[in-house]
Amino acid sequence: MTQRMDAYRAWAAQRNPPRTAQRLRCYLDRQASGLGRYVLEQTLFSALGWVPGILGVGLRALAYRPILRSHGLPAIEAGVRLVQANSITLHRGVYLDVGVYLHACPGGIEIGENSMVMHHAELHVYNFRDLPHAGIRIGHDSLIGEFNVVRGQGGVTIGNRVFTSPMVQILAVNHVFSDPTCSFVDQGITAEGIVIEDDVWIGAGAIITDGVRIGRGAVIGAGAVVTRDVPPHTVAAGVPACVIREVGDCPPPTGVPVYY
């Protein structure tokens, strides 16, 4: 118990240093890889981050290239917040909608070709404890829906042609709370990671918890809480989620138009 408390105090002291100068240094370290980078990034964001419409998209595509790992010219709307920008890799055709927040602190964020992150989604690596597998990787032609939250402490890998509906949460971290004699904040975290394979569709409001793998072509029902692996080409729903059918058992829609 004493050892856990001492370890937590040491971590808390590092996380929240007592002196103003130390706290300022801690803040800067979490925002950029160095003071020069911070000044450059904030200057660009202040000058161009607010510019609306196609003019702003074009200006940011060109001006943000020195601070990002860009392949091609990504489309970045107004009000997008990029933290630790030199650890963000955007491939050709990436689209970041209004209000998106990417925080790539150690581990990085990579978004594949022609993938879209819709408005007010948050992708946060959140690695302040030197976790070995932290990071967020998204394949090509995928879509991260409105107001999604992706936490990458344990590592999140999202495949190709994955669509997440609004309000989905993908959380590769968990608190330990097994000891009732002390606070959960003293008991550490686990960070096993999440893998979502190609061609997965995740319904609105679903929650994907740490340590889960969702197999290729699976469908996750709206509002599901996924706490264990989902086999390929199955439909999982419920709280906690369980497999309710195979994808091949779902009859095609009849009497309604289908659009492509």
Active-site amino acid positions: 175
Q: Of 197, 207, 203, whose CA–CA distance to 149 is shortest?
A: 207
SS3 readout for 109-141: EEECCCCEECCCCEEECCCCCCCCCCCEEECCC
12 Cβ contact partners less than 8 Å away, ≥ 6 residues apart:
none
- 3-class DSSP state of 36: helix
Spatial contact of 109 and 128, defined as CB atoms under 8 Å apart: no
Whether the CA torsion 19, 24, 25, 30 is positive or negative: it is positive
Q: What's the CA gap between 33 and 37, in Å, rounded?
A: 6
Q: What's the CA gap between 129 and 19, in Å, rounded?
A: 21
